[in-house]
Amino acid sequence: MIQTLLYDTESQTLRQGGAELIDAWLAEPQTLLWSNFFEESPVVENELFHKRFGLHPLAIQDAQRDRHPPKIERFDDHIFLLVRGLTGEVPGLESGIVQIALFIGERFLVSRHSRPSPSIRQIYESVASDPSMLAMGPANVAGTVARRISDRYWKILMDVESRLEALEEEIFEESDDRHLEELIGYRTSLEKYRRVFNYHVHAFDDLRKNFPVFFPRGLIHLYVDVYEQFDREKSLADMHYGLAADLMDGYISVSSHRLNNIVKILTIVTTIFVPLGFLAGIYGMNFEYMPELQSKAGYFILLSVMGAIAATALLVFKRIRWL
């Protein structure tokens, strides 16, 4: 599917359509274009990307890959920016990743993604209802898309922070295996997000330091803001990753402490009842001749000995602070 918005800077009108507006854009130099390619066939994309927009074949190849680290590439008349957004199919850290390719020129923006992108959809709908964003240049639309992507990451990180704080309390109150599974899941996802943020930080840092000459100078603040947002998100992801690791260590320590207490109780019971059971076993044997059984005080002596053993064991355990 190809969605196209064509803005005429002279008449200040916006047209919506498909691939046919690309030819109109080529014929009308006063127009600005945003063409969004979603789940389009590679054959059609290659034809339009190369012949209509003059995009580099290797950049097109990178844009069509399912997995490629975010990056920036510079060409004479456009910038190739590869970012990773969220599909929104599943809430939270488990949300799917969508690779979004942005080709940003002075008069055009080409976006390409093979999975649903709520960020692209929301900005496209905003521009369709109010073309002022596109009127400020395709680079403004691209920067706004990048900002919307970073905002969605930010919301997820804030939710993770709240959940980790709640987990910290739950673990010390009553920990179970579900907490450990959840923490392992957070660590795995946060490690992935850390890499994504790191790539974005490098890409937007390069872009802000070497701002393209065909981008309106007023937009540098937008791209600096996007860079700073991703940088904060990288720091937050690092902090949450460390907190998840600390909570896992805390969970293991609490579990070990509880296990030690259980072992202590079992040791106390075993230490007391093993000798008692031994004595009871000896005098419970049905031998015909056992001298002690003939004593009238034998039963009371045995109970006294057993009581003394139990009392001595309890005193010893209390002295070593096991009780």
Report the pLDDT value the prediction gives residue 89, as an integer from 0 to 100. Answer: 64
42-64 pLDDT tens trace? 899 998 998 889 999 999 999 99
Query: How far apart (Å, rounded) are the C-alpha atoms in residues 4 and 55?
Result: 17
Report the pLDDT value the prediction gives residue 268, as an integer from 0 to 100. Answer: 86
Q: Report the 10 Å Cβ neighbour count for 45.
A: 19
What b/e readout covers 117-127, taking b as 16+ CB neighbours within 10 angstroms? bbbbeebbebb
Q: In CATH, what class is 2-253?
A: alpha beta
Query: How far apart (Å, rounded) are the C-alpha atoms in residues 311 and 136?
Result: 88
254-319 placed in CATH 3.20.20.70: no
Report the pLDDT value the prediction gives residue 91, as an integer from 0 to 100. Answer: 67
Stated pTM of the model:
0.79
Is-same-fold flag (2-253; 254-319)? Answer: no
Residue 54 phi/psi, 5° resolution? 70, 35
Report the pLDDT value the prediction gives residue 30, as an integer from 0 to 100. Answer: 94
Please, what is the average pLDDT of the chain? 89
230-257 pLDDT tens trace? 999 999 999 999 999 888 888 887 778 7
Q: Where are the domains of the chain?
A: 2-253, 254-319
> 96: helix, coil or strand?
coil
Report the pLDDT value the prediction gives residue 320, as an integer from 0 to 100. Answer: 80
Low-confidence ranges of the chain (pLDDT < 50): none
Report the pLDDT value the prediction gives residue 223, as an integer from 0 to 100. Answer: 95
